Amino acid sequence: MDANPSPTQLATQAAAALAERTGIDRHDIALTLGSGWAGAVDLIGETVAEIPASEIPGFSASGVHGHTGTLRSVRMPSGRHALLIGARTHLYEGRGVRAVAHGVRTAAAAGVRILILTNGAGSAKSEWPAGTVVLVCDHLNLTARSPLEGAAFVDLADAYSPRLRALARQVDPSLPSGVYAQLPGPHYETPAEIRMIRALGGDLVGMSTALETIAAREAGLEVLGLSLVTNPAAGVAQERIDHLALMAESRNAAPRIARLLADIVARIDGENDE
Ligand code: HPA
């Protein structure tokens, strides 16, 4: 094996290992489940294999939690397979943009055409309280980084698929849409930064998703982004932003958004039959 593989070569190796370990040659849809969203897994289908990510090339132990997540292969009622990427790497972990994009690239190398990215986010809009689910319609990449290397001049107009958003709205017509601003973190924003982001057209703030979407678009994947509002962003409401309170908010919303996400996945997967 090449001692210094390119990101695409590493993803190809990871996909081969995944196919060998899961017995599933091809996955159709991939999902990254952010804060609050994990409960959807068992509603999407039957887990056929779950592999510690650290056993797949390119995924290494997370610096944050002291353990890696898993990659899970789930058979949907249609018989097609979803890949659950439970090993998201955030930019703030300091492992670089290659690590951030590796899960997405592995999904693409595993045959995936549709990527669903979920996250927990702060809301810059007072009319979206904690618990609101928002469809991401565009992003502001405020990390000053790109996951792409070389002359990869990828078009990001409609980076978040209008077709997939329309399918999500068939499941819940009340879902609002908004612009997601990714910041490097891990600190939260200042109220002045939130005012700046609002002036720039941002509605949601978080520390993931935009870089993953850029990598996904380079790989030709169709992307659906879903944010769970876990808190009003800095300065939007009286209360301070507290990580534990955010986690509690995610837990409260978990059963509802798990059902919503599973229904959206079923709707999207159902399109393949039509
Ligand atoms: N800011 C950035 N990231 C976040 C927030 C926030 O307020 N809430 C959840 N993730």
CATH number of the domain residue 137 falls in? 3.40.50.1580
From ligand 1's centre to the CA of 253, what distance in Å? Answer: 16
Q: Is the CB of 246 under 6 A from ligand 1?
A: yes
Q: What distance in Å separates the CA atoms of residue 55 and residue 178, rounded to the nearest whole number? A: 37
Predicted pLDDT at 63:
47
Q: What distance in Å separates the CA atoms of residue 256 and residue 251, rounded to the nearest whole number? A: 10
Q: Is the peptide bond before 186 cis (omega within 30 degrees of 0)?
A: yes
Q: Is the CB of 121 under 6 A from ligand 1?
A: yes
Q: What distance in Å separates the CA atoms of residue 224 and residue 115, rounded to the nearest whole number? A: 6
* Residue whose pair of structure tokens reads 């990510």 in the numeric block: 53
Among 134, 197, 207, 228, residue to substitute to test ligand 1 (most atoms within 8 Å of Cβ) = 207
Say if 186 falls within a structural domain: yes
Structurally, the chain folds into a number of domains equal to 1
> Which residues, 6 or more positions from 38, have their beta carbon under 8 angstroms from its beta carbon?
86, 254, 258
- Mean pLDDT, residues 227-231: 93
110 or 33, which is more confident: 110
Predicted pLDDT at 2:
65
Q: Distances in Å between the alpha carbon of 123 and those of 27, 46, 106, 204? A: 33, 34, 31, 5
Predicted pLDDT at 66:
41
Read off the pLDDT of residues 141-162 as tens digits, 9 standing for 90 and up: 999 999 999 988 999 999 999 9
Say if 2 falls within a structural domain: no
Instruction: For the chain, give the mean pLDDT.
Output: 92
For 132, which DSSP code? -
Atom of ligand 1 nearest to the CA of 207: 3
Which listed residue (20, 93, 149, 189) is catalytic?
A: 189
239 or 186, which is more confident: 186
Confidence of residue 127 (pLDDT cuts 50, 70, 90): very high
From ligand 1's centre to the CA of 196, what distance in Å? Answer: 15
Predicted pLDDT at 239:
79
Read off the pLDDT of residues 57-80 as tens digits, 9 standing for 90 and up: 998 765 454 445 889 999 999 999
- 193 a catalytic residue: no
| R_g of the chain, CA atoms, integer Å | 18
Nearest to 21 by CA among 67, 113, 83: 83
Q: pTM value?
A: 0.94
Q: Is the CB of 180 under 6 A from ligand 1?
A: no
Nearest to 106 by CA among 67, 138, 137, 72: 72
Q: Are strands 133-141 and 222-232 parallel, antiparallel or unpaired?
A: antiparallel
Residue 38 tokens, joined: 């994990």
Judged by DSSP in three states, 178 sits in strand
Say if 197 falls within a structural domain: yes
Residue range(s) defining the domain that contains residue 95: 7-271
Say if 212 falls within a structural domain: yes
Q: Which amino acid is at 47?
A: T
What are the phi and psi torsion angles at 13 (to 5°)?
A: -65, -40
Q: How many CA atoms lie within 13 A of 249 on its CB side?
A: 20
Say if 203 falls within a structural domain: yes
Read off the pLDDT of residues 152-194 as tens digits, 9 standing for 90 and up: 899 999 999 999 999 999 999 999 999 999 999 999 999 999 9
Say if 1 falls within a structural domain: no
From ligand 1's centre to the CA of 233, what distance in Å? Answer: 7
Share of the chain above pLDDT 90, in %: 78
Q: Which residue's CA is minimally distant from atom 6 of ligand 1?
A: 122
Nearest to 11 by CA among 91, 85, 118: 85
Judged by DSSP in three states, 75 sits in strand
Q: Is the CB of 228 under 6 A from ligand 1?
A: no
Say if 153 falls within a structural domain: yes
Say if 130 falls within a structural domain: yes
